[in-house]
Amino acid sequence: MLFHIGQIILYTLAFDIVIVSGGFFLGLHISWITLPIAFILAIVTLYLLYNETLDERFVIEILLSVFVFIILAFIVGKFYDLTWDGNAYHKLAVGLLKDGWNPVKEKLVHDVSAEIEDPSNYFWSEVYCKGSWFFAASVYLVTGNIECGKVYTLMIMLCVFSVSYYYFKKKNIGFLYRISIAACLALNPISVQQCLSFYIDGLLCSLLELLIIALLMLSEKSLFDKKISYSLIFGSMIICGNIKFTGLLYGGVFCIVYFLFDSWKEYRAGQMWFKRVLPGFFVFAALAVVTTCFVGYSTYITNTIRHGSPTFPLTGVNKMDIMTSNSPFVGGNRVKNLMISLFSRLDNININSDHKPILKMPFSVFWNYEKQYLGNVDNRISGFGILFSGILVLSVIIILVYVIVSKRDRKYYLVLLNVIVCIGLSLVIKESWWARYAPYIYFVTIIALIIAVSSGNRFVRRFGFVLSIIIIMNSCIPLVCLKNSYYQSKTINSSLNGLILDDGITVYSERFDGIYYNLNDKHIDYVIDDALRDDEEAYTLPYYNVKWKVGR
């Protein structure tokens, strides 16, 4: 039942994005009915793939899926997104889509050359991947609260837990051990840090975990249903490739590498290997086309047509450098920068900061210094958590010992394959020092954990279980900020309720267009006036210093 609920969650998100993308081709807009239709299609898909006897459990699974969505949406709806990007362009894009913007047919920015110098939030909304916004807008239309739209990260975290638990149960991993692995995958540090915001790096990390598990399932056709494996791959990759440009890159790399690995196995198995791998080639080719040319049309194709590059503004004639000003490093070797980031105190400095990263011993904690950064969703230094450097050292030792002493079987080559991909991406992607852009580094610890808990040695298995506890603890330490975030949200909510005045208000928010949708949700009567920026008599909200005055 847990696995089926995870399937429903993934299929619903994927179908929602597919439906929205198809509607845009026809000149339609996102509607309140989009989400219910996506959910119905998810149920139909589960029914078609259902391997168990169809009985009352199927109905229970559907009802539990609805209940889970309601609970998770309620939770995230109680927390205001307090992040810069969330209030700058994520909410703006979600609100525009909810209000009828069709990104295939309608431009937000007409003078791109002017935007290049000082890009507005509308610029980012038009050129960036939009998958998460499609789903968030669908949720927004159903709930009437834009904050509920960011439920996608928690939903996929639950999906990761259910699918990975199912996978390791079928692999005969012991109960406590499969619980611990599933929890480490679901509670990855990036997703935990970002689960109450519109940021999508944690969502991407979880989706890549799902994709890899599905690829593993596909490579073990004797143990897992091939149709179910492909459905999970399609669902994960369609979402993954349409929430971030790097999602398409990372997901594509893992799909290609696993396909080549399976092809190599077929080649070693004997004659007619090409005939056996050809269907898989066409399936993955179809997945690439669907992900980029159909579902990704509103981004990849429109960017190519309008700006000459599918991943504009990161590439192309007028490409923009968004990393230099964000980086804490001035040049330097990328490997050195990565090591400094991994083995330093938790921090969030950039090129303009007045201090540098401070190295520390693995597993050491400087609580009074590091606690001030725990609430951030995008720490640039030690972004995987304050204990991660020690966890990584132990993980590398486990993997090295395994590679040296283990027999050369299928598991051995899978471990080697995944480690090589993770290391390769770490070296090729020069921004790997920033944890939110480098989920593959976290995967190294998961590989080590799986090696340990699946060992034939009882001591090693127990050591793996202890390691899993440390990994979970490291990921969950930022949750100490949850209480403060809740009270901040309550304060903001009370302040917004105080703006529901008969005379209406005049309001201005510099660079945070998404906040206006929070005002809309409260049915506040307002007009926007940028003259309030320098008005010393204007009141200030405790929400990115939004200015306001009574009257219109």
Residue 51's pLDDT is 82
Residue 247's pLDDT is 98
Q: What is the pLDDT of residues 133-142, one digit of tens each?
A: 999 999 999 9
Q: For the residues 368-376, what does the mean pLDDT come to?
A: 96
Residue 110's pLDDT is 78
Asked if residue 328 has a cis previous peptide bond (ω within 30° of 0), the answer is: no
Q: Is the pLDDT of residue 315 over 80?
A: yes
Q: Please tell me the distance from the alpha carbon of residue 461 to that of residue 359, in angstroms, as a whole number.
A: 32
- In percent, how much of the chain has pLDDT > 90? 89
Can you say whether residue 544 is alpha, beta or left, with left for phi > 0 and alpha for psi between -120 and 50 degrees? left
Residue 525's pLDDT is 95
Q: With bands split at pLDDT 50, 70 and 90, how would you rate the model's confidence at 352? A: confident
Residue 403's pLDDT is 95
Which helix (DSSP H) or strand (DSSP E) does residue 437 occupy? none
Q: Is the pLDDT of residue 53 over 90?
A: no
Q: Please tell me the distance from the alpha carbon of residue 158 to that of residue 180, in angstroms, as a whole number.
A: 14
CB 543 within 8 Å of CB 515: yes
Residue 269's pLDDT is 83
Residue 552's pLDDT is 80
Q: What is the pLDDT of residues 252-281, one digit of tens each?
A: 999 999 999 999 988 888 778 888 899 999
Q: What is the pLDDT of residues 422-465, one digit of tens each?
A: 999 999 999 999 999 999 999 999 999 999 999 999 999 999 99
Q: Please tell me the distance from the alpha carbon of residue 440 to that of residue 419, in angstroms, as a whole number.
A: 9
Q: Is the pLDDT of residue 114 over 90?
A: no
Q: What is the pLDDT of residues 135-162, one digit of tens each?
A: 999 999 999 999 999 999 999 999 999 9
Q: Cβ contacts of residue 273 below 8 Å, gap of 6+? A: 263, 266, 267
Instruction: Express the helix, strand and coil content of the chain in percent, nearest 5 each.
Output: 65, 5, 30
CB 5 within 8 Å of CB 68: yes
Q: With bands split at pLDDT 50, 70 and 90, how would you rate the model's confidence at 118? A: confident
CB 548 within 8 Å of CB 499: yes
Assign 414 to helix, strand or coil. Answer: helix
List the one residue out of 226, 223, 109 whose CA is nearest residue 173. 223
Q: What is the pLDDT of residues 170-213, one digit of tens each?
A: 999 999 999 999 999 999 999 999 999 999 999 999 999 999 99
Q: Please tell me the distance from the alpha carbon of residue 410 to that of residue 395, in angstroms, as a whole number.
A: 20
- Residue 120's Cβ-count burial label (10 Å; 0-12, 13-18, 19+) is middle
Burial letters for 357-385: b for 16+ Cβ neighbours within 10 Å, e otherwise?
Answer: beebeeeeeeeeebbebbbbbbbbbbbbb
